[in-house]
Amino acid sequence: MMRRRDFVAGLAGAGALASAPRPARATAWPARPISVVVPYPPGGSTDITARMVGERLSAILGQRLVMDNRPGAGGNLGLEVVARAAPDGYTLGVATTAHAINMTLFRKLNYDTLRSFEPVALLTENPLVLVVPAAAASRSVHDLIAAAKAKPGALNYASSGLGQSTHLAAELFASMAGIKLTHVPYRGSAPAITDVMAGQVDLMFDTTQSVLPHVEGGRVRALGITSAERLPIARDIPTIREAALPDYVAIAWNGLVAPKGTSPDIVRRLNAEAVRALQEPSIADKFAALGATSRPLAPEAFGAFMADEIAKWGAVVKQSGATLD
């Protein structure tokens, strides 16, 4: 028979177990809005892409994706914010071709495009369009090259910022054409193309999302496109390859990244939902109408893609001799 003191001790132990704090139940992700850092101003191609995809992902995930535009330093300021953020799935960033270029272009960065982030999903790829003001004398790529050769350095070109694809695409063009152009960097694509339309800048390489509406509206003239083949939605714009430089190709891209250490489960879910969103006709058709395409890459494949882009554009940067502090 149980002795009295054993019975009392048992009751005390049971009471301790009953009063002990229970492990907190893990909160399902996402439980609150998600911040998406866009490292450029509103209105440019990266911002357009992020907002289109973000709106659909908000509906799929049941939580708002809030765009946080952080322009500056060739896209570096925004990605630094993402690199420093808690890896809890509530801060994401949009990486671009520029962040592959910047690995070689800048002497010092406060992040590493491969080591500071978890690759989530490739969003879009699209060529750039070489445009000039509607009233410009140049009516072809050959005309533009001839004008640049006649007055070395006299023609200036706009870009969406130092180290952007819009910058390096022009540098590659100038190098292959044997001409000298003067670079005028802006804080984003929207203000840059505005000055091209106004005739304040002589030319620009800009993404199809940003510039085709202005081409169709007659506000700028398209001389060539940077893809290997003509775009179905712009058959009358020749490729720069066919117009003048047979080896010239330059493609811009946007992708979703998360801070290093973000849960693989969150990364995989974001990837699956982003791919799902991009394949929906409501999104895919809009991007196709702007000359952009998307590929369903797994996170690991997107990481390998970024590594390849860093190597490719690194060679262009070294050839151009461009460096930034």
Q: Please name each of the domains of the chain with its CATH number.
A: 34-125+253-320 (3.40.190.150), 127-243 (3.40.190.10)
Name the more confident of 17 and 128: 128
SS3 132: strand
SS3 53: helix
| Rounded distance between C-alpha atoms, residue 1 and residue 3, angstroms | 6
Q: Closest by alpha carbon to 91, among 116, 65, 109?
A: 65
Q: Are 165 and 260 in contact (CB under 8 A)?
A: no
Which tens digits make up the pLDDT trace of 59-109? 999 999 999 999 988 899 999 999 999 999 999 999 999 899 999 999 999
Which tens digits make up the pLDDT trace of 283-305? 999 888 888 888 899 999 999 99
- What percent of the chain has a predicted confidence (pLDDT) above 90? 73
Name the more confident of 210 and 70: 70
Which tens digits make up the pLDDT trace of 232-260? 899 999 999 999 999 999 998 999 999 99
Predicted local confidence at residue 8, as pLDDT: 45
Name the pairing type of β-strands 117-133 and 91-96. Answer: unpaired
Average pLDDT of the chain?
Answer: 90
Q: How far is CA 240 from CA 22, 129, 179, 277, in A?
A: 66, 9, 15, 32
Residue 156 phi, psi (nearest 5) = -115, 155
Q: Closest by alpha carbon to 177, among 209, 206, 138?
A: 138
Q: How far is CA 123 from CA 5, 14, 252, in A?
A: 69, 56, 11
Record the tokens describing residue 166, joined without a space.
Answer: 């819009």
Record the tokens describing residue 284, joined without a space.
Answer: 């895919």
State pTM to two decimals.
0.78
Q: Are 258 and 118 in contact (CB under 8 A)?
A: yes
Record the tokens describing residue 93, joined without a space.
Answer: 């960033």
Helix (H) or strand (E) holding 37: strand 34-38
Enumerate residues 6+ apart whose C-beta is below 8 A from 114: 303, 306, 307, 310
| Structure confidence at residue 164 as a pLDDT band (50, 70, 90) | confident
For residue 213, is the peptide bond before it cis, meaning its omega torsion is within 30 degrees of 0?
A: no
Predicted local confidence at residue 15, as pLDDT: 47
Q: Are 97 and 313 in contact (CB under 8 A)?
A: yes
> What mean pLDDT is predicted for residues 99-121?
95
> What mean pLDDT is predicted for residues 24-51?
87
Residue type, 21: P
Predicted local confidence at residue 129, as pLDDT: 97
